[in-house]
């Protein structure tokens, strides 16, 4: 089987799984509410309004699996989604970060919850760090990457809303983001370009999620 055939087969398996049975399981405001660690988990993180909900919806071919909100900072818990029948993996929507209007104590609570989850969850196979293509890597993204590096959790960087900027600007953001990833100890040396609205990069990212879950 050629590498191209293997990738096509992986993408089709990922499409069938991630667009099949996917259901919201629970929200965990504290570690004691986490579900039993019985299947691989893939976590999604990013600044508020980065397009996390839209990406989750695109990956699962749903319209409102993860509710997109016009109010940044709405997700304040770890939200778990079960994938497959029988259960094959979980997608975990982590609280958005970097929202200036959130009270300091709330921000600290989010940080503690995410940090403790990252450090203590043995079934966590990979994290995806979402970054808005229009803005590139910000200091708050670097904080998240540092947290992942320190927790020794491997992560992929995903540029969202890639359809919203010119191709030349996108190429520049992609290059600078890749350079940032190469400085990091736990970052995957590849940057995914996606558009939830246009479907760009979704099949490839689905395949990456499945490959990570099965690794």
In the prediction, which pLDDT does 111 show? 86
Ramachandran angles phi, psi of 100, nearest 5°: -65, -30
pLDDT of 101 strictly over 70: no
SS (H, E, C) 111-180: HHHHHHHHHHCCCEEEEEEEEECCCCCCHHHHHHHHHHHHHCCCEEEEEECHHHCCHHHHHHHHHHHHHH
Lowest mean pLDDT among 69-83, 120-134, 189-203: 69-83
- The token duo for 27 is 């929200």
Task: Give the dihedral sign, CA 187/113/213/122.
Answer: positive
Specify which residues 193 forms β-bridges with.
Answer: 159
In the prediction, which pLDDT does 72 show? 47
Tens-digit pLDDT profile for residues 8-40: 999 999 999 999 999 999 999 899 999 999 999
In the prediction, which pLDDT does 1 show? 86
Task: Please report which confidence band the pLDDT of residue 103 belongs to, taking 50, 70 and 90 as the band edges.
Answer: confident
Task: Please report which confidence band the pLDDT of residue 107 belongs to, taking 50, 70 and 90 as the band edges.
Answer: confident
> Per-domain residue ranges for the chain?
3-214
CATH 3.40.50.300, applies to 3-214: yes
In the prediction, which pLDDT does 75 show? 56
Specify which residues 46 forms β-bridges with.
Answer: 130
More confident residue, 102 or 115: 115
Long-range Cβ pairs for the range 198-203 (8 Å, 24+)? 198/163, 199/58, 200/162, 200/163, 201/162, 202/58, 202/59, 203/11, 203/14, 203/15
More confident residue, 69 or 99: 99
Arithmetic mean of pLDDT over the chain: 92
Average pLDDT over residues 177-196: 96
Distance (Å, whole) CA 125 – CA 54: 22
In the prediction, which pLDDT does 76 show? 74
pLDDT of 193 strictly over 70: yes
C-beta of residue 92 within 8 angstroms of C-beta of residue 80: yes
Task: Please report which confidence band the pLDDT of residue 106 belongs to, taking 50, 70 and 90 as the band edges.
Answer: confident
């Amino acid at each position: 089987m050629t590498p191209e055939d293997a990738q096509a087969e992986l993408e089709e398996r990922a499409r069938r799984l991630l667009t099949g049975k996917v259901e919201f399981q629970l929200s965990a405001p504290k570690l004691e509410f986490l579900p039993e660690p019985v299947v691989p988990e893939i976590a999604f993180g990013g600044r508020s309004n980065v397009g996390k909900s839209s990406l989750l919806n695109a990956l699962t071919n749903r319209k409102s699996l993860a509710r997109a909100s016009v109010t940044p900072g709405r997700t304040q818990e770890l939200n778990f989604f079960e994938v497959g029948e029988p259960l094959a993996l979980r997608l975990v929507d982590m609280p958005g970060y970097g929202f200036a209007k959130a009270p300091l104590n709330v921000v600290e609570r989010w940080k503690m919850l995410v940090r403790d989850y990252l450090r203590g969850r043995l079934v966590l196979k990979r994290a995806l760090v979402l970054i808005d293509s229009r803005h590139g890597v910000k200091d708050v993204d670097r904080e998240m990457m540092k947290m992942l590096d320190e927790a020794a959790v491997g992560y992929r960087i995903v540029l969202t809303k890639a359809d919203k900027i010119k191709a030349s600007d996108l190429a520049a953001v992609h290059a600078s983001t890749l350079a940032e990833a190469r400085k990091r100890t736990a970052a995957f040396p590849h940057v995914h370009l996606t558009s939830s609205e246009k479907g760009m990069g979704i099949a490839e990212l689905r395949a990456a999620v499945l490959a990570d879950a099965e690794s």
